[in-house]
Structure 1
């Protein structure tokens, strides 16, 4: 069986237009924020469901009906299956992909796992993910897919564990390992590390938004557009930027 794991529903219609065969699995998570605790997978998913309920005012049953079943498709895949992971280069995508790989690493039997990046992107817009890619561009990305070897799985599992446990030192150490499966790994790991205050300095996203407010105005749409242009490496949507923006604005106007 061939599976295509898409990072969110936005890519589904474009992917279908390619005519590529295989079953679609949609990773409907946002693991760049919220509770990541849980010694077991059920504990982890329950904590995620609670976070979504508290943060977005959605009943936990919604998470179990729309998010969990997609991950269960991975866990229930038959031996010998092929998995193609369609993810961008940014932190949002990487966190979700590390989690998906942690699930796949525990599947028994042979399997083929590939990552499909938006390789058609030019250097200056690599953080834009797949966006409104044409069928031809998606086919090009698929043709350039990268196969995971055993060492890549081990690195992915270590990255997920360090990320999940907020072990920033370990994450930094892992980022120096070279793997074609994880391009821009040092930059992405450093971007995550920089989210946290250090030696009296605020986290990088807050500092960037403060700078934007000084130079570009206070309107949120302006701030979001400029933040995305400067810090596309995070892959933040407007929800994530809005939280940081509101916090900075509250500190400026207590």
Structure 2
């Protein structure tokens, strides 16, 4: 049986290489929770736009982005019997998960594999669990053996709806969808992630969304260095799964509006 494991990042790869779990590996090196998106993730235009954003926002080059992300997408067109998706509970990972599912569903030359999800929201004995990058091989094998679930047709339909709404960026429609969806199938982490995203779409009287305002509050409460701001944000907002590079996007917007000075 041919198996593909799609990992949420290089941090998880370190532990995964020390497991006995079979199959090929693809590392998802993207941050679909930021920047331009379109529904057709399988199109060349989609990845051209992503490359332009990633290279213009982060310390990346077009060639390296192609080699580290786009070139690996070819694996999704191979006829695997089984695909294991290793993604976490936060918004960053959930949107990447949606992207991976959309690619799998949009591949017309791919015989339908059995798709499994390993998505931990916590881990026994780790009260401040932040992600699978913290886990060793034995711990990742525990997740594989105990929380892996097979995604069915309903889960794919739910993911498709979530992806379409995420791409559209309409707060009212997203809010209605969250409120009216009564069953979250095998993707219970999707709801809190989409609720977190909804707060990014909504703005206050000053034109700031939740993350802008949270960072501004941290700054106004005496944290005036980036490391201190990052740490304070992560203490309460791990649902967003943001690293320092993503937070810099919002901090730079606050700087441009002369609301903070770093």
TM-score between the two structures when normalised by the length of structure 2:
0.87
- Is contact 1:89–1:117 with CA below 8 Å preserved after alignment? yes
Aligned to 1:164: 167
Matched residue count: 251
Return the match for 2:158 from 127, 134, 155. 155
Relative to structure 2, which stretch is displaced further, 93-102 or 56-65? Answer: 56-65
- Is contact 1:120–1:137 with CA below 8 Å preserved after alignment? no
Aligned to 1:193: 198
Computed over aligned residues only, the root mean square deviation of the Cα atoms, in angstroms, reads: 2.2
Q: Could you give the per-residue CA deviations for residues 152-193 of structure 1, whole angstroms, max 9, x where no partner exists?
A: 011111111111221333333333342242223332112111
Q: Distance in 2 between matches of 1:135 and 1:62?
A: 28
Aligned to 1:247: 253
- Is contact 1:82–1:111 with CA below 8 Å preserved after alignment? yes
Aligned to 1:87: 87
- Is contact 2:58–2:245 with CA below 8 Å preserved after alignment? no
Q: Which runs of 5+ in 2 are unaligned?
A: none
When residues 16 and 57 of structure 1 are mapped into structure 2, their CA distance, relative to the original with a 3 A threshold, is closer
User: Following superposition, which runs of at least 4 residues in structure 1 exceed 4 angstroms of deviation?
Assistant: none
Q: Distance in 2 between matches of 1:105 and 1:169?
A: 27
Q: Distance in 2 between matches of 1:72 and 1:226?
A: 39
| Structure 1 residue 86, shift from structure 2 partner | 0.5
| Structure 1 residue 27, shift from structure 2 partner | 0.8
The equivalences for 1:82-121 within 5 A come to 82-107=82-107, 108-118=110-120, 120-121=122-123
Q: Distance in 2 between matches of 1:111 and 1:42?
A: 24
Q: Distance in 2 between matches of 1:18 and 1:120?
A: 20
| Structure 1 residue 88, shift from structure 2 partner | 0.7
- Is contact 1:162–1:171 with CA below 8 Å preserved after alignment? yes
Q: Indicate the SS of the match to 2:26.
A: strand
| Structure 1 residue 9, shift from structure 2 partner | 1.4
Q: Could you give the per-residue CA deviations for residues 117-143 of structure 1, whole angstroms, max 9, x where no partner exists?
A: 2355269535x1213212222111111
Aligned to 1:28: 29
| Structure 1 residue 213, shift from structure 2 partner | 1.5
| Structure 1 residue 38, shift from structure 2 partner | 6.6
| Structure 1 residue 200, shift from structure 2 partner | 1.9
Return the match for 1:181 from 181, 186, 206. 186
Relative to structure 2, which stretch is displaced further, 51-60 or 17-26? Answer: 51-60
Q: Indicate the SS of the match to 1:28.
A: coil
Aligned to 1:77: 78
- Is contact 1:29–1:67 with CA below 8 Å preserved after alignment? yes
Aligned to 1:60: 62
Q: Distance in 2 between matches of 1:137 and 1:153?
A: 28
Q: Distance in 2 between matches of 1:253 and 1:164?
A: 30
